[in-house]
Amino acid sequence: MEPQLLNTFDKILNYCFRLFKSKNSDYGPTWLLYRFQSLNDEIWRKAKRIRTLEEHDDRACIPEGRDIEYVGIINYCIMFLIKLETSVGIPSLDDVTENLKLLDEIDESIIYNAYQAQMSRVKDLLIKKNTDYGDAWRSMSLMSMTDQVIIRVYRIRKILMNNGKCAVSEGISAQLHDIINYCVFALIKMDTNLFANG
């Protein structure tokens, strides 16, 4: 993968992480209260807004554009991935539902380290897939990338309905990794100035 592309990728990831930290500072880790289907619905909601903006020439009633929605999807996917794994120091959904005070007792560094660990895996996979597919994303339209995200949201929904089991297909984590990769590629293709200071 060319250095300039990696640099852009890092700027995007840094922006996503800074936004995640800021929201965690404002709200605390309330996202731990989400059930898996709710997280998937949040990703769907943002992807649906992106598709709506694409179909209406980016005419929006609120100031946020498609770029910030892609960022939101990336962060929801990372939250989903963190919740899929058992991490020391991060309580389970059942625990926090029974005792909300646990949210206030979580060490922020544990959450941030979990975020960075997931993003590191995503970056490693993106580099490998981009090598195997030979920059195929460059010839894809933004609409097609949005559709790929929506397709994977539906796949996750079906997997959740099957209690997380797949007969021959890749599981939820693989779908989330693909969603993040498509969002990153879409942001690169958009050439947004959102990450100019990243």
162: Cα separation from own chain's centroid: 22
pLDDT given at position 197: 62
Task: Compute the distance between CA of residue 167 and CA of residue 107 in angstroms, rounded to an integer.
Answer: 38
pLDDT given at position 131: 77
118-168 confidence digits (pLDDT tens): 999 998 888 888 777 777 888 899 999 999 999 999 999 999 998 877 776
What is residue 21's DSSP assignment? H
Is the pLDDT higher at 198 or at 95? 95
Task: Compute the distance between CA of residue 67 and CA of residue 44 in angstroms, rounded to an integer.
Answer: 15
pLDDT given at position 155: 94
In the chain, the N- to C-terminal Cα span, in Å, equals: 20
pLDDT given at position 50: 94
Domain residue ranges in the chain = 3-190
Whole-prediction pTM value? 0.92
3-state secondary structure 52-90: HHHHCCCCCCCCCCHHHHHHHHHHHHHHHHHHHCCCCCC
159-177 confidence digits (pLDDT tens): 999 887 777 677 899 999 9
CB 1 within 8 A of CB 131: yes
53-93 confidence digits (pLDDT tens): 999 888 777 778 899 999 999 999 999 999 998 778 899 89
pLDDT given at position 139: 87
Tokens of 161: 């309905």
Task: Compute the distance between CA of residue 96 and CA of residue 94 in angstroms, rounded to an integer.
Answer: 6
Phi, then psi, of 62 in degrees rounded to 5: -120, 155
Cα four-point dihedral sign 67, 47, 25, 124: negative
